[in-house]
Structure 1
Amino acid sequence: MKINVKDHKFDHLRGLSATDRVSEKNRLAGQGREILERAGEVMDEDAERAFSEVEEQLEFLRHVTEQESRIRSLYAGGSYEDGDTTNERTVRSSTPKKQTLSGLQILTREQSVETWGRDNGYATADSEGASFDKFIRGIVTRDWQGAEQERALAEGTLSAGGYLVPTPLASNVIDLVRNQAAVIQAGAQTIPMTSQTLKVPRLTGEGTPAWRNENAAISAQDLTFDAVTFTARSLARMVIMSRELFEDSDPAASGIISKSFAAQIAVELDRVALRGSGTPPEPRGILNTSGITTTTHGANGAAVTYDFLLDAAGTVLAAGYMPNAHVVAPRSLVSLSKAKDTAGNYLAAPAGLLPIIPTRQVPVNNTVGTSTDTSEVYTGQWNMLAIGIRTGFEIRFLQERYADNNQVAFLATMRADVQLLQPAAFVVDTGVRG
Structure 2
Amino acid sequence: MAISFPALEEKRAELKRIFDEAGDDFDLSRVTVKNHHTATEKAQYIKKLNSEIDDLKRVAEAAEIGGYGHESGDGARPASRGNTGGHSLKGAETLRKDQSFVQWGRDNGHGNRDHEGLSFDRLIRGMATGKWRDADAERKALSEGTLSAGGYLVPTPLAGNVIDLARNQMRVAQAGATFVPMTAQTLKIARLTGEGSPGWRNENSAITAADMTFDSVTFQARSLNRLVTMSVELFEDSDPSASNVIANSFAQQIALEMDRVALRGTGTAPEPRGVANTAGVTTTGHGANGSAISNYDFHLDAVGAVRNANFEPGAHIQAPRTNTSLSKLKEATTNAYLQPPAGMLPMLPTRQVPVNLTVGSSSDCSEIYTGDWSQLAIGIRTEFRIEFLRERYADNGQVAFLAWLRGDVQLLQPSAFVVDVGVRS
Fold equivalence (TM over 0.5) = yes
Q: Does 1:179 align with 2:134?
A: no
Pair 229,168 (structure 1): closer, same or farther in 2 beyond 3 Å: same
| SS in structure 2 at match of 1:414 | strand
Which one of the candidate residues 400, 404, 407 is aligned to 1:409?
400
Partner of 1:133: 121
Pair 16,99 (structure 1): closer, same or farther in 2 beyond 3 Å: farther
| Structure 1 residue 227: Cα displacement | 0.2
Question: Distance in 2 between the 1:143 and 1:358 partners?
Answer: 41
Question: Distance in 1 between the 2:71 and 2:90 partners?
Answer: 22
Partner of 1:149: 137
Q: Does 1:299 align with 2:288?
A: yes
**1:363-418 Cα distance to aligned partner (Å, 9 max, x none):** 00000011000000000010110100001111111222222221111111110100
Partner of 1:6: none
The letter for the 1-side match of 2:367 is: E
Pair 154,80 (structure 1): closer, same or farther in 2 beyond 3 Å: closer
Partner of 1:390: 381
Question: Distance in 2 between the 1:259 and 1:389 partners?
Answer: 18
The letter for the 1-side match of 2:357 is: N
| SS in structure 2 at match of 1:158 | coil
Q: Does 1:290 align with 2:283?
A: no
**1:287-310 Cα distance to aligned partner (Å, 9 max, x none):** 000111110000010112311001
Is the 8 Å Cα contact of residues 192 and 214 (structure 2) preserved in structure 1?
yes
Is the 8 Å Cα contact of residues 115 and 155 (structure 2) preserved in structure 1?
no
Partner of 1:326: 316
| SS in structure 1 at match of 2:94 | coil
The letter for the 2-side match of 1:279 is: T
Flag structure 1 segments of 5+ consecutive residues without an equivalent. 1-13, 25-49, 83-93
The letter for the 1-side match of 2:208 is: S
How do residues 315-394 of structure 1 correspond to structure 2 at under 5 angstroms?
315-342=305-332, 343-394=334-385
The letter for the 1-side match of 2:393 is: Y
Question: Distance in 2 between the 1:16 and 1:179 partners?
Answer: 44
Partner of 2:184: 195
How do residues 86-165 of structure 1 correspond to structure 2 at under 5 angstroms?
98-159=86-147, 160-165=149-154
Pair 330,15 (structure 1): closer, same or farther in 2 beyond 3 Å: farther
Question: Distance in 2 between the 1:16 and 1:163 partners?
Answer: 29
Percent identity at matched positions? 59
Is the 8 Å Cα contact of residues 303 and 432 (structure 1) preserved in structure 2?
yes
Q: Does 1:423 align with 2:411?
A: no
Figure out how many residues of one structure are paired with residues of the other and give that number: 369
Question: Distance in 1 between the 2:423 and 2:312 partners?
Answer: 23
How do residues 208-357 of structure 1 correspond to structure 2 at under 5 angstroms?
208-304=197-293, 305-342=295-332, 343-357=334-348
Pair 386,81 (structure 1): closer, same or farther in 2 beyond 3 Å: closer
Pair 276,97 (structure 1): closer, same or farther in 2 beyond 3 Å: closer
The structure 1 segments of at least 4 consecutive aligned residues displaced by more than 6 Å after TM superposition are 14-17, 94-97
Question: Distance in 1 between the 2:186 and 2:123 partners?
Answer: 29
Question: Distance in 2 between the 1:149 and 1:173 partners?
Answer: 18
| Structure 1 residue 97: Cα displacement | 7.1
TM-score, normalization by structure 2: 0.81
Question: Distance in 1 between the 2:133 and 2:383 partners?
Answer: 25
Pair 134,96 (structure 1): closer, same or farther in 2 beyond 3 Å: closer
| SS in structure 2 at match of 1:210 | coil
Partner of 2:38: none
The letter for the 2-side match of 1:188 is: A
| SS in structure 2 at match of 1:264 | helix
Partner of 1:433: 424
Partner of 1:207: 196
Is the 8 Å Cα contact of residues 239 and 260 (structure 1) preserved in structure 2?
no
| Structure 1 residue 242: Cα displacement | 1.2
Question: Distance in 2 between the 1:97 and 1:252 partners?
Answer: 27
| SS in structure 1 at match of 2:144 | coil
Question: Distance in 2 between the 1:15 and 1:117 partners?
Answer: 32
Pair 412,294 (structure 1): closer, same or farther in 2 beyond 3 Å: same
The letter for the 2-side match of 1:146 is: D
**1:218-268 Cα distance to aligned partner (Å, 9 max, x none):** 111111000000000000111111111111112111111111111111111
The letter for the 1-side match of 2:394 is: A
TM-score, normalization by structure 1: 0.79
Pair 15,175 (structure 1): closer, same or farther in 2 beyond 3 Å: farther
